[in-house]
Amino acid sequence: MTVRRTPVTILIRNARVLGGEPTDLLLRDGVIAEIGPGLAADGAEVVDGTGLVALPGLVDLHTHLREPGREDAETVYTGSRAAALGGYTAVCAMANTSPVADTAGVVEQVYRLGQEAGLVDVQPIGAVTVGLAGERLAELGAMADSAARVRVFSDDGFCVADPRLMRRALEYVKAFDGVIAQHAEEPRLTQGAQMHEGDVSARLGLTGWPAVAEESIIARDVLLAGHVGARLHVCHVSTAGSVDIIRMAKARGVRVTAEVTPHHLLLTHDKAESYDPVYKVNPPLRTDADVEALREGLRDGTIDIVATDHAPHAAEDKECEWAYARPGMLGLETALPIVLDVLGEDWPLIAERMSYAPARIAGLDGHGNALTAGAPANLTLVDPTVRWSVDPTGLASLSHNTPYAGMTVPGRIVATFLRGVPTVLDGKVQK
Amino acid sequence: MKHLLSTADLDAATATEILDIATEMASVSGREIKKLPTLRGRTVVNLFYEDSTRTRISFEAAAKRLSADVINFSAKGSSVEKGESLKDTAWTLQAMGADAVVIRHPASGAPHRLANWVTGSVLNAGDGTHEHPTQALLDAYTMRSRMGRLDGLHVAIVGDVLHSRVARSNVLLLNTLGAKVTLVGPPTLVPTDLNASVQVAYDLDAVLPQADVVMMLRVQRERMTDSYFPSAREYSRRYGLDGARLRRMPAHAIVMHPGPMNRGMEITPEVADSPRSTIVEQVTNGVSVRMACLYLLLGGAR
- Please tell me the distance in Å from A318's CA to the nearest CA on chain B: 11
Q: Please give the Cα distance from B39 to B65 (Å, whole number).
A: 9
Do B122 and B183 sit in the same domain of this protein?
A: no
More confident residue, A146 or B301: A146
Q: How far is Cα A300 from Cα A303, in angstroms, rounded to an integer?
A: 8
Cα Rg for chain B, rounded, in angstroms? Answer: 19
Catalytic residue numbers of B read 54-55, 82, 104, 132
| Residues A321, B110: C-beta atoms closer than 8 Å | yes
Which residues on adjacent β-strands are paired with residue A425?
A428
Residue of B nearest to A206 (CA): B108
For the beta sheet containing B100-105, the strands, ordered from the edge strand earlier in sequence to the opposite edge, are B69-74, B43-48, B100-105, B121-127
Residue B200 touches chain A, beta carbons under 8 Å: no
pLDDT at A3 over 70: no
**Which chain B residue lies closest to A204 (C-alpha atoms)?**
B130
Task: Count how many domains chain B has.
Answer: 2
User: In what order do the strands lie in the sheet containing A232-234?
Assistant: A152-153, A179-182, A232-234, A256-260, A305-306
Q: Provide mean pLDDT across the span B190-197.
A: 76
A188 touches chain B (CB under 8 A): no
* pLDDT value of residue B29: 79
Give the one of B85, B108, B112 whose C-beta lies nearest to A323's C-beta: B108
pLDDT at A1: 46
Mind telling me how many Å the CA of A69 is from chain B's nearest CA?
Answer: 21
Same domain, B222 and B142: yes
Chain B residue numbers with beta carbons less than 8 Å from the beta carbon of A270 are: none
- Write down how long chain A is: 431
Across A270-274, average pLDDT: 97
Hey, which residues 321-360 in chain A have their CB within 8 Å of chain B? 321-324
Q: Are residues B264 and B175 in the same domain?
A: yes
User: B274: distance to nearest CA of chain A, Å?
Assistant: 33
Q: Answer whether B85 sits within 8 Å of A320, measured CB to CB.
A: yes
User: Which chain B residues are Cβ-neighbours of A316 within 8 angstroms?
Assistant: 85
Average pLDDT of the segment spanning B67-82: 80
The pLDDT, as a whole number, for residue B301 is: 46
pLDDT tens, A140-186?
Answer: 999 999 999 999 999 999 999 999 999 999 999 999 999 999 999 99
- Hey, is the C-beta of A229 within 8 angstroms of any chain B C-beta? no
Active site residues of A: 309
In a domain, B2, yes or no: no
Per-residue DSSP letter, A285: P
Query: What would the pLDDT profile of A44-78 be if each residue is shown by its tens digit?
Result: 999 999 999 999 999 999 999 999 999 999 999 99
Contacts of B127 in chain A (CB under 8 A): 205
Q: What is the pLDDT of residue A403?
A: 98
User: Is B168 in contact with A205 (Cβ distance < 8 A)?
Assistant: yes
Same domain, B107 and B238: no
Q: Has this prediction a pTM greater than 0.90?
A: yes
How far is it, in rounded angstroms, from Cα A215 to Cα A175?
28
pLDDT bucket at B77, cuts 50 / 70 / 90: low
Best interface-test mutation with B: which of A190, A201, A203 has the largest number of B CBs within 10 A?
A: A203
- Are B253 and B149 contained in the same domain? yes
Say if the Cβ atoms of A319 and B107 lie within 8 Å: no
Residue B245 in any domain: the answer is: yes
Quick check: A204 contacting B, CB < 8 Å? Answer: yes
Residues of chain A with Cβ-Cβ distance to B191 below 8 Å are 202
Same domain, B87 and B179: no
Q: Nearest C-alpha of chain A: how many angstroms from B17?
A: 25
H-helix segments, A118-192: 140-145, 163-172
For residues B66 and B197, state if they share a domain: no
Decide if A198 touches B, using CB distance below 8 A: yes
pLDDT, position A4: 54
Angstrom distance (rounded) from CA B189 to CA A65 = 40
Hey, what domains does chain A have and what are their CATH numbers?
10-53+374-429 (2.30.40.10), 57-185+218-362 (3.20.20.140)
Same domain, B145 and B53: no
Does a structural domain hold residue B230? yes
Q: Are residues B57 and B164 in the same domain?
A: no
Residue A321 and residue B191: Cβ atoms within 8 Å?
no
- Is residue B100 a part of any domain in this protein? yes
Contact A333, A36 (CB under 8 A): no
Instruction: Please give the pLDDT value at position B143.
Output: 98
Give the integer Cα–Cα distance in Å for A291 and A240: 8
- Is residue B209 within 8 Å of residue B249, measured between CB atoms? yes
Residue B107 to residue A323, Cβ atoms within 8 A: yes
What digits encode the pLDDT tens for the residues B109-154?
Answer: 999 999 999 999 999 999 999 999 999 999 999 999 999 999 999 9
B35 vs A313, higher pLDDT:
A313
Question: Are B204 and B250 contained in the same domain?
Answer: yes
What average pLDDT score do residues A350-374 get?
98
The mean of the pLDDT values for chain A is 97
Instruction: Give a three-class secondary structure readout of A7-76.
Output: CCCEEEEEEEECCCCEEEEEEECCEEEEEECCCCCCCCEEEECCCCEEEECEEEEEECCCCCCCCCCCCH
Percent of chain A, pLDDT > 70? 98
- For residue B302, the model assigns a pLDDT of 38
Are B109 and B144 within one domain? Answer: no
In B, minimum Cα distance to A195 occurs at: B108
Per the CB < 8 Å rule, is B108 touching A205?
Answer: yes
Share of chain A above pLDDT 90, in %: 97
In this prediction, residue B32 carries a pLDDT of 87
A76-127 confidence digits (pLDDT tens): 999 999 999 999 999 999 999 999 999 999 999 999 999 999 999 999 999 9
A228-250 burial, b if ≥16 CB within 10 A, otherwise e?
Answer: bebbbbbbbbbbbbbbbbbbebb
CATH number at residue B29: 3.40.50.1370
Same domain, B139 and B112: no
How far apart, in whole angstroms, are the C-alpha atoms of residue B222 and residue A181? 36
Range of the domain at B256: 133-282
- What is the C-alpha to C-alpha distance for residues B187 and B6, in angstroms, rounded to an integer? 25
Q: Residue A252: its pLDDT value, please?
A: 97
pLDDT, tens digit, 9 for 90 and up, residues B240-285: 999 999 999 999 999 999 989 999 999 999 999 999 999 999 999 9
